[in-house]
Amino acid sequence: MKVKVISRSAEVFTRERSQDLQPVFKNYDPSLRPLEKGVEYVRALNAVKLDKIFARPFIGAMDSHVDAISSMARNPSQLKEIFAGSMDGDIRLWDIAARRTICQFPGHRGGVQGLTVSTDGRILVSCGTDSTVRLWNVPVSSFVDPYALIKQLEPASVYPWKNAFRAADHQWDGEHFATGGAQVDIWNHNRSQPVNSFVWGSDTVISVRFNPGEPNLLASSASDRSINLYDLRMDSPIRKMIMQTKTNSIAWNPMEPINFTVANEDGSCYSYDSRKLSEAKCVHEDHVSAVMDIDYSPTGREFVTGAYDKSLRIFPYNGGHSREIYSTKRMGRVFCVKFSGDGSYVISGSDDANLRVWKANASEQLGVILPREKKKHQYNEAIKKRYRHLHEIKRIARHRHVPRPIYKATKLMRIMADARKRKEQRRKDHSAPGSVTTKPRRIRKIIKEVE
């Protein structure tokens, strides 16, 4: 007869310090723990409810601007700095952590429509309705004295041009930047005139964006409802797609540079593969008014949108509906949005002359987190992910309080969509088989593609 004896050394189950928890040894055999799934379900339910209780996304507002915020740019070399331009020509460099202005860049005599920063964070490029392009030297970041006077800087270069500008963007790796107005112009830091220009149609270019993976690839949208792709190494544009409604902004996915998402006038966003523009990869819908701006998180897993319905939403990159909606009673129409450099915060600019800082994860705990707290958060996230398909957990996780106008508009749009579906189905039922076909929405919004 064999006798098995459990033997443990004293070092394994003895605490090193009096503040440590007493080690507990568990047998994870499922037969010995018949209620394990029930216990985990209750923990997941409580974790989802706690997320709702501690959901406080709004952090603070920065309100020194006088007119509506029209453009923003993130400083690639600094996590806590962001540039904002307003319709009265005022440009400010903000410290997000201290929520105060570091310095001002005066000079524009009209609305600042385009702001962009070089990859090294040393040069700021601005353009606007006064038909000038201005280059500024960005001051080196240092400790911000809350009682110091706000510095006003002079532009390093001023390049006047023939037409007003609507957008600007800098190469991710290079010395060129692009502006959009009557046409797409490519500029160099050391040249007072564009080194190249692209024209495809005669309508105003609304937005321009360089590809993060291929520095010479550029996308733009125009007021004739077109989306264009350009290559700086060629003399003519590559491809053009025309949609039913106008595209207000474009954002490339930084982790999948072949994909980009557009913010459309019909209240939806459309994700495309730049190699196949005949069909959208995904349609992101939830806004009830025109989507004005869009920006991807540095992780590439989600993006934020700002809309004319006075709200901003955070979408997963491959999801059809938003996971978060942020709004306040005093916030006006949102014209520009940006993720912070680490993807933890969202900054929005609206026509009430305010910049607002939000948490990307509404229930995230700010400040220093102890190792035990961090493990607890990770465990809660794991069990929420494991039981997210169950009805009660899904219902609580999806529930959002939205402003009354958005709620009513969403309800009305749902009724209209159902009516269209019924009408389409009746038309099919009373027509010859195969004579009436329904295009999916991923294709329906595209009129044609030109190469």
- What would the pLDDT profile of 2-57 be if each residue is shown by its tens digit? 777 767 777 777 787 888 877 777 777 888 888 889 999 999 999 999 999 999 99
Residue 220, both tokens: 């733009």
Q: Which long-range contacts (CB under 8 A, 24 or more apart) does 377-384 make?
A: 380/43, 380/44, 380/47, 380/50, 381/47, 383/40, 383/43, 383/44, 383/47, 384/44, 384/47, 384/48
d(CA 410, CA 52): 22
Q: Rounded to an integer, what distance in angstroms lies between the CA atom of residue 74 and that of residue 138?
A: 12
Choose among 239, 238, 328, 253: nearest CA to 284. Answer: 253
For residue 202, the model assigns a pLDDT of 67
Residue 180, SS3 per DSSP: strand
Q: What is the pTM of this model?
A: 0.89
Buried b / exposed e along 226-259 (16+ C-beta atoms within 10 A): bbbbbbbeeeebbbbbbbeebbbbbbbbeeebeb
Which SS3 state, helix, strand or coil, does residue 376 take?
Answer: helix
Judged by DSSP in three states, 204 sits in coil
CA 65 to CA 173: how far, in whole Å?
31
CB atoms inside a 10 Å sphere around CB 52: 14
Across 404-429, average pLDDT: 94
- Specify the DSSP element, H or E, that contains 307: strand 302-307
CB 208 within 8 A of CB 168: yes
Block residue for tokens 């009209």: 110
**Is residue 421 predicted with pLDDT exceeding 90?**
yes
pLDDT digits (tens, 9 = 90+) for 330-383: 999 999 999 999 999 999 999 999 999 999 999 998 889 998 899 999 999 999
Residue 149 pLDDT greater than 70, yes or no: no
- State the pLDDT at residue 30: 82
Q: What pLDDT shows up at residue 146?
A: 55
Q: Band of the pLDDT at 425, cuts 50, 70, 90?
A: very high
User: Which one is predicted more confidently, 4 or 271?
Assistant: 271
pLDDT of res. 235 = 79
Q: Which residues on neighbouring strands pair with residue 359, listed in sequence order?
A: 345
User: What is the C-alpha R_g of the chain?
Assistant: 26
Mean pLDDT on 158-167: 91
Q: Strand runs (DSSP E) across 149-281, as ranges?
A: 151-152, 157-160, 167-170, 176-180, 184-188, 196-198, 205-210, 217-222, 226-231, 239-243, 247-252, 259-264, 268-273
Q: Concatenated DSSP letters for 74-127?
A: E-TT-SSEEEEEETTS-EEEEETTTTEEEEE----SS-EEEEEE-TTS-EEEEE
pLDDT at 32: 84
Rounded average pLDDT over 402-425: 94
Cα(177)–Cα(157) distance, integer angstroms = 14
- Residue 168 has, within 13 A of its CA and on its CB side, a CA count of 32
pLDDT at residue 27, as a whole number: 77
User: Which of the two residues, 148 and 396, has the higher pLDDT score?
Assistant: 396
Alpha-carbon span 331 to 308, nearest angstrom: 11
Is 205 exposed, middle or buried (CB count within 10 Å of its CB: 0-12, 13-18, 19+)? buried
Sign of the dihedral defined by the CA atoms of residues 185, 304, 65, 122, in that order: negative
Placement of tokens 């500029």 in the chain:
187
Q: Residue 253 in contact with residue 264, Cβ under 8 Å? A: no
Host H or E run for residue 325: strand 324-326
Structure confidence at residue 142 as a pLDDT band (50, 70, 90): low
> In whole angstroms, what separates CA 35 from the centre of its chain?
42
Least trusted range by pLDDT, from 155-159, 256-260, 349-353: 155-159
Task: Provide, rounded to the nearest whole percent, the portion of the chain with pLDDT above 90.
Answer: 67
Q: What local confidence, expressed as pLDDT, does residue 407 receive?
A: 95
Residues 381, 300, 337, 115, Cα dihedral to 10°: 150
Contact (Cβ atoms closer than 8 angstroms) between residue 312 and residue 337: yes
